[in-house]
A and B are shown apart, each in its own frame.
Chain A
Amino acid sequence: MPAGSKDSAKRKRTSTGDKVTKVTKRRRSSNEEAEDPNAKILLMEQGILESKKNYNDIATLLSIASRYEDGEDESTLAAVTLCRIFLRLLAQGSLIAKKGLSEKDSVVVGWLKDQFSQYKTLLQNMLGDEDLAVTALTLCMRTLKAEGEHLYDKEEYTFPQAFLENIVAVLITSDNEDARKAFLESYVEEYDDIRYYTFKSVKAILNRLDKDDIPDNLFDQVYALLSALDGVPQSAEELEDFYIPRPKKKSHDLRSAIQHKRQGQDAWLAILSIVQSKDERKRILSVISTNIAPWFTKPELLSDFLTSCYNTGGSMSLLALSGVFYLIQERNLDYPSFYTKLYSLLDKDILHSKHRSRFFRLLDTFLGSTHLPAALVASFIKRLSRLSLNAPPSAIATVVPWAYNLLRRHPTCTFMIHRDVQDPELKKHIQNNGAEDPFNATETDPMDTGAIDSCLWEIVQLQSHYHPNVATIAKIISEQFTKQSYNMEDFLDHSYASLLDAEMAKDIKKAPVVEFQIPKRVFLPQDEPAANPDSLLVKLWDFGEPAKGVAAA
């Protein structure tokens, strides 16, 4: 029906000469129709742009484009063509219902608007498609830009938020990696307004969700979308890149950094509300202090999440530590018995954890103050040196310089490595009974462990560690303390692999020493066990029957 009315309206205005050409053109196009659909689409485009009469072809193109699921090539072309058409129309203002328009014209405008929204829906659907997503995204964004610029013929700034929200919703729900990446890299990270409205959309989408029924991979998608955003605007001056020309009013939300941050904060809060599994929490925690907390104008809002994570224990606590520290540092968060909690983190797994270096970086900061009570520092040192008895070499290489630095900072603690007993009675007691270790490993309060009265026998044992470098590092405790402090960064990131690589990287230049004596037996028991006893290996391991072996050899 609208096609007919449009046609009549057009006929009224166009001159006869025009008509002739149009007709011929149409004819020609219909002739070629069978031969080349692509050419036909292009012709249609030309026609539509030339005259309003051909607006009906928009519907045709739409129907072609909507057949994308069948994998037809021309559907993509049709979509692209439509995009071009609508961009042109929007620029012409054909989609704006002006006051002075005749009834018929307003009908046309209404019809076009309808088509436009159909087209947008189509694009959104295409966005969900695996192959066409990236193309669809480009089209979407182009359309979005044009819509924002031209659809509303007013001075006021309008952002087609609903459209963006739909786009984001599609991106979040589909697991199309490429489209999301493209969206992130070329739009969200580039343009401040897109980022602003993306945050807004995410928040809106997540808030609409049913809390009891959250799709499994929703978190992953949202997290992937937002965790990459780290360029927090600090001031209004930084807001320069706008996809759609920025609003003129300076007081507009879009031009205030605080509003941007607030959107980010709201979006993240929405995400935090859908966090379910432990793994998701860990992922959040891993970026919380770098990518998430900066968005928060009120980081206190994070404190609930963080404290609950911190109290969980295990690696979760380790991860939450940096967030908590951020709050303490930036927001003056009062965390009761922080050091007790920190001390409790020093469990048997800490030195084997893969977050070890991260933890030590923080620990170094926490214990950096020289105003900490010596008893507390001593507890930390003692506890970690106790743990290092069961630690891999790379961890020992971290613990010892760290302990050195602490001892250097807290001279009172050096009694742990050098205790000259003066009391004659006590001396005698030690002579007779040996020194007792007053350290209570099970005490949870670092102030009461008695570590300050203990000694670091553990580190002395590590001085005879099998790895030469680790042993040498451990020896710094008994050397004279001439160095002000060790740079912890040099010792943090080591592993078996890196130690091995360091060894293997060195080429042999000098002939290595060879064991002087060739043993008579390697795998088999000695002939004369009395003279040279069997090696441990031979005693404990069965290398096949020696009798038979000898006979065979």
Chain B
Amino acid sequence: MAGSQLKRLKASLREQGITGPQKSKKQRRKQAQDDPSRNDKRLQRGVVLEGIREQFNPFDLKHAARGPKFEVTTNRPKPGNAAIKGRPGLAKAAAEEKRKQTLLVDMQRRNKVGGILDRRFGENDPTMAPEEKMLERFAREKLKSHKKNSLFDLEDDEPMDGLTHMGRTLAFDDQEDPVDDFNEDDLEEDGEDSDGSSREKRLKRLRAIIAAGEEEAEEGEPERKKTKKEVMEEVIAKSKLHRYERQAAKDDDEDLRTQLDKELPNIKQLLSFGINGARRQDNAAPLSAIAGVERDAFDKNFDIEVKRLAQDKRAAPSNRTKTDEEKAEEESAKLKKLEEKRQKRMMGEEVSDSDEDEADKKRDQVSGDMEEEEDDDDEFSLGQGIKARPTATELGFDDEDDFIIEDDLVASGSDLDLADSDNEFDNEGEEDDDSSASQAEDNEDDDDEFTKGLLNESETKNPIFQANFSSNDKNDENGLPFTFPCPQSCSEFVSITKDYDHANLPKIVQRIRALHHPKLDSKNKERLANFAVALVDFVALPWNAETSPSFSVLESLVRHIHSLSKMFPIEIARQFRHHLGEISQNRPIALQPSDLTLLTAIGTIFPTSDHFHQVVTPAMLTIGRYIGQKVPREMSDYAIGTYLSILSLQYQQLAKRYVPEVINFSLNTLCSLSPTAPSHLLGNFPIHEPPAGSRIQKAKAVGLRRLNFSDCLPEASQGGSNALKIALLSTTIQLLDAAADLWTGKSGFLETFSQAIEVLGHINSKSSREHLPAAVSDKAERLEEKLKRMSRVSQLARRPLELHHHKPLAIKTYIPKFEETFDPDKHYDPDRERAEMAKLQKEHKKERKGAMRELRKDANFMARENLRVKKAKDEAYEKKYKRLIAEIQNEEGREANAYEREAKARKRANRK
């Protein structure tokens, strides 16, 4: 397109049909018919003109610096007119305008103080009519004074209706409304007053009225054909009418019903009045009393009785009485479940019974992570602590609940039999009979044997019975009082029981437990807990062959502790641990017989097969420490070690865990006791140089006996008699036998017991045999044979280790993840933090640039404004200056003229 700008403009205007040769009338009409959208022509024209303007003002638009880019797949087409990137002229104008409104105002207000701000509503709004302004202001003021702005404030709704008198409004009904006496007619007259807009409104309204009148007029005219639309409207109107009618009918019914409802009480009253009246005639005299009871009270009672009857539980079908087989089955199922749990604990798995364990489980799983666990010992045992079984209380067979007499202990022949105690308890016999049945029923109640027979439910409530108990003077035929205070410490217990024979201890404990049963007093639980702790202390008292209670008594006490520990597991466990701690602090390798009892008690009370147990694990460590570290000096040391070895084997009876110390100790014992010193190395176990005189010499004729507790006392074993040594030797051999049985399946059986075979071979050697009794050497020989046999079996069963049949670990890959909807503009930073950081940085940069640009523009604007102001000032000054100059010149000129004239005049006068 060549030519000048003007030419081009003309051409394009013509092209668009905006200018052109004038069209004839005919042409125009035709065009109008062809183009129905003629009405938008004006609009179109505007658009077209705008386009032309844009086209001819290239600097108003910003285009891409270079032409369009090549088409590539990732190039997203921009929406709208992609070529135009911005309108700098417009933007600049807008910015300038904005600055004028804000910055300029600020500038002008700079260094100025005070002034009045007109905050009246609508004052600065030129679009509002003064009337509207007033109206709005009034409304606002009302609202403000009213304070109650909330739409939902119901409190003062009534006054809004205006004042009332006797429920009637204060409006003057008969008169015209004094307030609103405005009518349209008036308006018409004083139309001059109102402004244009209201007049328009009025006109509109008038028009509407006229139109309505016209419609009415139309109705009167003969029916014309209805349009489809009208038909449809009619149909709709009809259906609406029907609906309304139905609604009305329904409402009527509702009204009727409510009315009836209202009347019902009256009818009722009528009816009841009739009945009451009749009764009143019947018994007029005792009107207010029935059977001697006040009438109201009677009614009340009657109501209560009825309610009670209604609340009475209906006879529900109870569980069928189970047959013996079923019971046995249930029992075995329960045992099986318990055994399963035990197995799980043995494997060190988490066994949870309730939700509360869940949290622990999670923690355990976390800590169960091997890598972390290895790091230190503390972490190791974190995961193992399990509360596998619910306590007895939870299972509901706590011994505190039922007192069922069980004659288990009686059958054992001890004099705990209650039959020989007096008939203090009248229904004891019955109880006894019951018990055999109930025992079969509830095997759980095993525990109750300890408090058996002393109390039953009804008796506990019987005050006479309690009084009986509290009388201290009653003794049974053994001279045992029936009541004891509940000992709170070991020393108290000792002082209470010191007057009685040790044999009576179980009975005393039993009576204390019964007397201070938690059911009888709320404080008893605490007392019993202390008593249980005291019992533990009592068992741990130093043992002495003469003064200590016999083992049958100890056994019974241990069983009592066991039973109590179901009620007080934490207290008792704590006490046991306390004793273990004391041992490890004070005498780790100088155990006393009482410690042995304690360890045995732990072994029976707590499950020793658990992978980890708060009491058993330290106990086992204590045992291991002794037999592992003790260098035996006395025969008693050997005896204690042997006892502990037996005990540790017993601990591992179920779990069959390996205890290296047992092998070490027993083999060392055998070597030390053997009549001759071994000439060569017999195994990898550490050999301690035996104390002098430990070797068995010339004991051919010594009889076999079992070890007992007095052998564990250093003074008793001082002599080191051959009998004791033989006993030690034979026990150790038996111990090894048991150990071999226990660990028969272990993978290292061959290596472990090959040492034992060698040691036994040494004992069976000729030089040794001649010093040993035949029975012992026989035993040793048999064991050697047995071990050899077992070794052969073990050898046959041995397979190469294949421990690592693990799923191979996947090699870590870093192949980039395939993105389904990849967006090249987006950053796929795998590092989340870095991505966020980058985003923030970018934003910051952008903002910073924007802010700088704005500031720069602001500065420009200010400079411009200042310049403008200065220019204006200068101009004004200049103007003023010029004006003054002109004025002066004017004046001067006049003066000069006057002077000249005067001079001329004088000259002339002088001339004259």
Contacts and interface: CB of A to CB of B under 8 A. Distances in A.
A397 to B, nearest CB: 8
B574 A546 contact: no
B13 interface: no
Contact of A518 (B446, B612, B706): B446
B621 A500 contact: yes
Contacts of B687: 348
Max chain A Cβ within 10 angstroms of own Cβ: one of B374, B392, B629, B749: B374
Contacts of B800: 419-421, 430, 435, 455
Contacts of B574: 508
Nearest to A391: B660
A460 B550 CA distance: 43
A414 B804 CA distance: 9
B391 interface: yes
B730 to A, nearest CB: 9
B370 A542 contact: no
A499 B408 CA distance: 42
B707 A542 contact: yes
Nearest to A400: B374
Contact of A540 (B338, B447, B503, B707): B707
Contact of A464 (B370, B555, B573, B657): B657
Interface string B351-371: 000000000100000000011
Given A503-B381, A514-B562, A523 B374 contact: no
A418 B802 contact: yes
Given A434-B798, A500-B618, A518 B686 contact: no
A417 to B, nearest CB: 5
A4 interface: no
Contacts of B661: 392
A43 B476 CA distance: 96
Contact of B804 (A396, A417, A537, A550): A417
B96 interface: no
B714 interface: no
B803 interface: yes
A349 interface: yes
B556 interface: yes
A389 B555 CA distance: 35
B442 to A, nearest CB: 14
Contact of B648 (A466, A469, A480, A499): A466
A494 B411 CA distance: 51
Contacts of B613: 512-513
Interface stretch (B412-420, B426-434, B871-879, B884-892): B412-420
Given A433-B796, A540-B734, A513 B388 contact: yes
Interface in B649-682: 649-653, 655-661, 663-664, 681
Interface stretch (B17-25, B56-64, B213-221, B564-572): B564-572
Interface string A426-464: 000010011111000000000000000001111011101
B551 A392 contact: no
B227 interface: no
Interface residues of A, number: 99
A517 B446 contact: yes
Contact of A543 (B371, B588, B681, B709): B709
B507 to A, nearest CB: 9
B385 interface: yes
A458 B751 contact: yes
A504 B617 CA distance: 10
Interface string A189-223: 00000000000000000000000000000000000
Contacts of B617: 467-468, 503
Contacts of B652: 466
A181 interface: no
B269 to A, nearest CB: 68
A478 interface: yes
Interface stretch (A22-30, A228-236, A482-490): A482-490
A544 interface: yes
A133 interface: no
Nearest to A519: B604
A466 B801 contact: no
A494 B684 contact: no
A392 B708 contact: no
B664 A524 contact: no
A419 B566 CA distance: 49
Contacts of A481: 804
A84 B664 CA distance: 69
A483 B374 CA distance: 10
B809 interface: yes
13 contacts: A390-B663, A421-B800, A465-B659, A468-B348, A468-B612, A504-B584, A508-B614, A511-B387, A511-B573, A513-B387, A513-B606, A522-B601, A553-B550
